[in-house]
Amino acid sequence: MSLTATQIKELRTRLLAEHARLKGDEAKVLSPIRGTESEVGDEMDAAGASQIQGDAALRSEHEHGLLVEIEHALGRIDAGTYGVSEVTGEPIEYARLAAVPWARFTAREQEDFEHERVARR
């Protein structure tokens, strides 16, 4: 079942809102990374600062990846290929897209990929 124009409009709006949120959070996430060691007092402060910087770097990496996925989804909407699996071309269920608007695969395909990834470890 394909998506209706109303559903695509709603999902596009959600993608744009999340894109704007992530772009706005970029500065907040990166600010702990930009701190210098000259600001650190003792070894405990340095360890704490290092942990904060590490956490911020991981969060920034995750959010950058999410931003790329959102931009890809917006591009697929513009190209008219949104809402179908990039692997099989099968429709992605609206409920899945409502939960994960940047989804590239059906829920079943995503589950298979996850199982495959775990089995490789």
Q: Which residue has the tokens 């099968």?
A: 90
pLDDT of residue 33: 46
Helix (H) and strand (E) counts in the chain: 4, 0
Closest CA to 76 of 62, 97, 58: 97
Closest CA to 30 of 57, 50, 54, 52: 57
**Whole-model pTM?**
0.71
For residues 97 and 113, what is the distance between their CA atoms, to the nearest angstrom? 17
pLDDT of residue 85: 97
Domains in the chain and their CATH numbers? 5-120 (1.20.120.910)
pLDDT of residue 2: 87
**Intervals of the chain under pLDDT 70:** 26-41, 45-59
For residues 44 and 105, what is the distance between their CA atoms, to the nearest angstrom? 45
pLDDT of residue 60: 73
Q: Which two tokens stand for residue 51?
A: 């942990």
pLDDT of residue 121: 84
